Structure 1
Amino acid sequence: MARGFLITGTGARVGKTTVGCALGFAMRARGIRVGVMKPVDTAESQDAQALALAVGSTMPIELICPYRYPADSALVDAPDLAHIVQCFDQIAAQNDVVLVEAGRILDFADLAATLDLEVIVVVSNRPGCLDATMLTIQRCGDRGLKIRGYILCDCDPTPAVDEVSLRELVGPLYLGRMRHREPLAKVIVEKLI
């Protein structure tokens, strides 16, 4: 069975796809067969395609992203978790590692628990990020999830907090920092492989 990671964030547009692409590419460069999945997304998004391209996946986009909704839809039916599990199992059967990116539409904790995934949290370096990180820690703890680590992502050119604050909050789970418009640091990749 493939090892699995769920990449989630402390909010929207925090760098989850960027981290997923960089991590997937780095794993593939080391000879690891990497599958990717973004179970739920908007129809306009290119995130699933970017993830697939980063790892060289030739799997159908309907398998990688089985649920795509219009961005302007106010109410969507809940995705069928059993169908997501089937898609994940097909991807996992052909790979050593599967990276799953969870967005806002689907509860990341339910998905991680159902698929038995280790959680990687991308923390946006914006005002309020430490409170959002605490909520994520609590949500993972409530579900008994294994947190693999936290990556501080400078989403904007001017960071809101320093690294020390996040390190103090999450301790040894701190993986490192992704600077604004820079690639994922090698040290972060090595901690996850």
Structure 2
Amino acid sequence: MTRTFFVTGTNTEVGKTYVSAALLAAAGEQGLQTAAVKPVASGCEQTDAGLRNSDALTLQQAMTVEMPYEQVNPIALEPAIAPHIAAMEAGRRPDPSRLAGICRGVMSGAAEFVLIEGAGGWRVPLAPRAFLSDLPRALELPVILVVGMELGCINHALLTAEAIRHDGLPLAGWVANFVRGPQREMPRSDENLMTLRALLPAPCLGVMPFDESGDYRNGAAHLDLSPLLSSAD
């Protein structure tokens, strides 16, 4: 049975890729074949092989199933700006239905645990009257929310959870990710975590401490996949 989840965040730069890669690593440690898709990525670099995005490359490294880069990241955009603006400047018009078809191809493959990672937060525009949130809606996917643990995260997390439910999708779980180092760490972090646990309508899959190395394999040890794997049985 293939278990597929859409990963979103409370904002940009909250560690969606770090958490996604850690989830893939944790699933791989349990013997599952894993795959991931980063449907739209801005902030790509020109290479001899074409445009490449560091987040998509991290996912490609973390998964166990071999896939060509173009399947992992079908829409690669060079400027590190909002995807819909980058797409417009590149003369492209991302189509959620086409992206859904690519994701379905991965979901029907050899992987048993698949992650579709979004860009930015939940309601990121792709084109006029098209949003990235249309993709998980088309695929009817449960959602994993990455909460960047910083001032304001409770409001962002609750509003995102409301939007996910409003779109008719279940929140499968959430991960608290400490994205700031010791000099900028979140005050009253334990109390904020307690509030999130009480108010978010889904299990906490893990609390990720700040990791200066950025090695997602360190993060895998802080995750509990049992709510995701049991809910799909």
TM-score (normalised: structure 2):
0.75
Q: How many Å separate the matches in 2 of 1:32 and 1:15?
A: 23
Picking from 182, 192, 197, the partner of 1:167 is 197
Structure 2 stretches of 5 or more lacking a match? 46-52, 212-217
**Deviation for aligned residue 1:98:** 1.2
CA contact (8 A) 1:36 1:99 kept: yes
% identity of equivalent residues:
30
CA contact (8 A) 2:137 2:169 kept: yes
Q: How many Å separate the matches in 2 of 1:118 and 1:108?
A: 15
Deviates more, 1:171-180 or 1:78-87: 171-180
Which structure has the bigger radius of gyration?
2
Picking from 93, 103, 126, the partner of 2:119 is 103
Tell me which residue corresponds to 1:56: 64
CA contact (8 A) 2:35 2:65 kept: yes
Amino acid across the alignment from 1:58? E
**Deviation for aligned residue 1:183:** 1.6
Residue 134 of structure 2 aligns to a residue whose secondary structure is: helix
Residue 159 of structure 1 aligns to a residue whose secondary structure is: coil
Q: How many Å separate the matches in 1 of 2:220 and 2:132?
A: 22
Q: How many Å separate the matches in 2 of 1:36 and 1:75?
A: 23
- Cα 1:190–1:76, aligned 2, differ >3 Å: closer, same or farther? same
Structure 1 stretches of 5 or more lacking a match? none
Render the CA deviation track for 1:159-178: whole Å, top value 9, x for unaligned. Answer: 24431121122155333311
Q: How many Å separate the matches in 1 of 2:80 and 2:39?
A: 18
Q: How many Å separate the matches in 2 of 1:127 and 1:186?
A: 22
Q: Does 1:183 align with 2:219?
A: yes
CA contact (8 A) 1:64 1:87 kept: no
TM-score (normalised: structure 1):
0.90
CA contact (8 A) 1:8 1:108 kept: no
CA contact (8 A) 1:4 1:99 kept: yes
CA contact (8 A) 1:109 1:139 kept: no
Aligned-residue CA RMSD in angstroms? 2.0
Q: Does 1:79 align with 2:94?
A: yes
Render the CA deviation track for 1:39-74: whole Å, top value 9, x for unaligned. Answer: 000223311111111113321111111101122564
CA contact (8 A) 1:63 1:87 kept: yes
Deviates more, 1:75-84 or 1:130-139: 75-84
Q: How many Å separate the matches in 1 of 2:7 and 2:174?
A: 10
Q: How many Å separate the matches in 2 of 1:121 and 1:38?
A: 15
Q: Does 1:88 align with 2:99?
A: no
Q: How many Å separate the matches in 1 of 2:38 and 2:6?
A: 10
Tell me which residue corresponds to 2:35: 35
Render the CA deviation track for 1:145-164: whole Å, top value 9, x for unaligned. Answer: 11001111100121244311
Residues matched between the structures, number = 193
